[in-house]
Amino acid sequence: MNKFTKYCVITSAMMLFSGLANAAPTYCSVSGSPNPDGLSFSDMTFNGNNADDCYGVVLGNEPKVQGNLTTGFNNLGLTWGTDWTFLAKDDDPGSPGVGTGSFGGFDFTLTAGAGTSGSWTLTAVDTNGAAPPNFPTNFDFVGMLKASDRYALWFFDDAQVVANNNGTFSINFQNNGGQLPALSHMNLYIRGGTTVVPEPGILLLFSVGIIGALFARRRTN
């Protein structure tokens, strides 16, 4: 690889990662930076990825679902949209295979660990055979952690789902006694995901890098 080719590749990569870093949100959608309740995107992960947004802490019971609309989410004024469907609830942390639900041709089983932090799993079984969607597929999720008399929410946009999925959770908000409460239960809400399309600027950067590399290679031949 000659110097010009290296320059094209390195420049494209640097501009790409810079664009991604600038596009990523820094704080939860609740006002204040940092989050006044100590929440962060990394408090909940799904298949190794941090949440895209979070909200809380909210005093009281978790949002309720009526039909295909999560009225509690609407009342919170979140920017994550609507059409959420309740998927599963693990109200016995540490016990395997407690929460089950079905959506989009898949049967899901949710299992959450016990304590102030731990892991959770979401297994999926394709029940519609060869008909789409099939693994891997994308869904939007909202994960809710209820602890003590309050809860918080984490939003995952277009999370890729396979047969065996795993995540982590960490409760970093305090109860009335100033302590970190243990997980009472975990809820998952779901809706159909959409394919993430790279921004036009990112596609252009890739194109410039590739064209430059090809041009330089032709000149060396």
Q: Contact, 129 vs 150, CB < 8 A?
A: no
pLDDT at res. 2: 56
pLDDT given for residue 14 in this prediction = 44
Percent of the chain residues topping a pLDDT of 70: 70
17-41 b/e (C-beta count within 10 Å ≥ 16 → b): eeeeeeeeeeebbbeeeebebebbb
pTM of this prediction exceeds 0.85: no
Alpha-carbon distance values, 25 to 40, 138, 163, 220 (Å):
11, 21, 29, 43
